[in-house]
Amino acid sequence: MIKPHGSDSLNALLIENETDRKRLLDNAVRLPTLMLNSAAAANLVMLGAGYFNPLKGFMGLSDALSICESLHTTSGLFWPVPVINLVRDKPSFGAGSKIALLDPNVDGHPIMAVMEVSAVERVTDEQLCIMSAEIFGTEDSNHPGVATFNGLGHYLISGDVQVLSLSYFQADFPDTFRTAEQIRSEIDQRGWDKVVAFQTRNPMHRAHEELCRMAMERLNADGLVVHMLLGKLKSGDIPASVRDDCIRVMVDSYFPKNSVMITGYGFDMLYAGPREAILHAIFRQNMGATHLIVGRDHAGVGDYYGAFEAQEIFTQRVPDEALEIEIFSADHTAFSKTLGRVVMMNEVDGHSSDDFVLLSGTKVREMLSNGIAPPVEFSRPEVAKVLMDYYQIEGA
């Protein structure tokens, strides 16, 4: 099986031994506490679940700035986006302290992890702007990722962590949320060698379905892992539970049995375009996938990124041998009225935009809200029904 990123074996930071976990929790209740923001809690879940292998905790300022500048930590590890814990108020504790990190997303704010604090550093406005501009490619506060990042605070708390909880994801998505090690184990049990991963934060329509099928056929893959984001999105996006239902009904109805694993991960969407595409590749390698589908405007939002920037960064800024996972680059896919099937738009000649079934997200939401199913060329009827039911309840 493909090796994890940066190490020979997976370094998940979740303490799973119940005796060790209870001992750490018993000691943690007497420690100084820090309430995490959602972004830091999401990073902690990814550290605990092994997706951020080989990291051992939250990065310090020098590593964060080095990554933004060069896509490498100060020690030389290839990494695209700082994994940091920013807070607004200067804490009372300092370097050398052991603290308990509290979950902001679960009632009662239980302890998520124990942290050995390496440093507490003040981040200047200039440094925040540098990081924001490099991570997101813009300083525009209308960008949802920029707005979130710039509101996290000016104090960066770094250090190794021992993770005690993966927040709400295991309880809320017991059939879908999986750690990197759990996915690796299932890939091994299925005997898959070549594995394609598909990243999604949306329901899967006909174009997504066919793109996955194209990748599997062209790569002669043994299986597909649909890996959906289960964390927080921007306002107006469809909730994870609804997306989960859409994907399951599509896979059950239109893919061969046992050819697809439906899984999810606990992370908040960054909308960081090219850099987030690299991050997606790293944690798909960590979970055992050999290939990641990177489509048009992957991990993008609005008009902040060029259509193929997320693909180009792999050839322009990812050094040879930095990653073992390979990228399946794809153009926009859509139903061709002329050919009567879903195609990759750059692979067909003699077509104008009128020859494709193309619907904007706004138009689709309007149709669903009015109880009108999108055309079958755009969305499978089973998927459309799940979405119409959701929008009818939302509009009630």
Q: What is the pLDDT of residues 114-164, one digit of tens each?
A: 999 999 999 999 999 999 999 999 999 999 999 999 999 999 999 999 999
Q: Map 253-293 to HEC letters.
A: HHCCCCCEEEEEECCCCCCCHHHHHHHHHHHHHHCCCCEEE
Tokens of 315: 């050839």
Can you tell me the mean pLDDT for 372-389?
94
If we measure between CA atoms, which residue out of 268, 272, 345 comes closest to residue 313?
Answer: 272
**Is the pLDDT score of 195 beyond 50?**
yes
Average pLDDT of the chain is: 95
What letter would DSSP give residue 193?
Answer: S
Tokens of 117: 């604090």
Q: Are 100 and 34 contacting, i.e. CB atoms less than 8 angstroms apart?
A: yes
Q: Where are the domains of the chain?
A: 18-167, 175-265+271-395
pLDDT exceeding 90 applies to what percent of the chain?
92
Q: What share of the chain is helix, strand, coil (3-state, %, to 5)?
A: 35, 20, 45
CATH number for the region 175-265+271-395 comes to 3.40.50.620
Task: Say which CATH topology domain 18-167 has.
Answer: Sulfate adenylyltransferase (3.10.400)
The DSSP H or E segment spanning 295 is none
pTM (predicted TM-score)? 0.95
237 pLDDT band, cuts 50/70/90, is confident
If we measure between CA atoms, which residue out of 324, 248, 318, 234 comes closest to residue 277?
Answer: 318
393 pLDDT band, cuts 50/70/90, is confident
As a whole number of angstroms, the distance between CA 227 and CA 293 comes to 11
Q: What is the pLDDT of residues 275-316, one digit of tens each?
A: 999 999 999 999 999 999 999 999 999 999 999 999 999 999
As a whole number of angstroms, the distance between CA 96 and CA 226 comes to 41
If we measure between CA atoms, which residue out of 19, 14, 18 comes closest to residue 48?
Answer: 14
Q: Which amino acid is at 240?
A: A
Q: Tell me the catalytic residues.
A: 201-202
395 pLDDT band, cuts 50/70/90, is low
52 pLDDT band, cuts 50/70/90, is very high
**Is the pLDDT score of 77 beyond 80?**
yes
Can you tell me the mean pLDDT for 30-38?
97
Angle CA 39–330–349, to nearest 5? 150
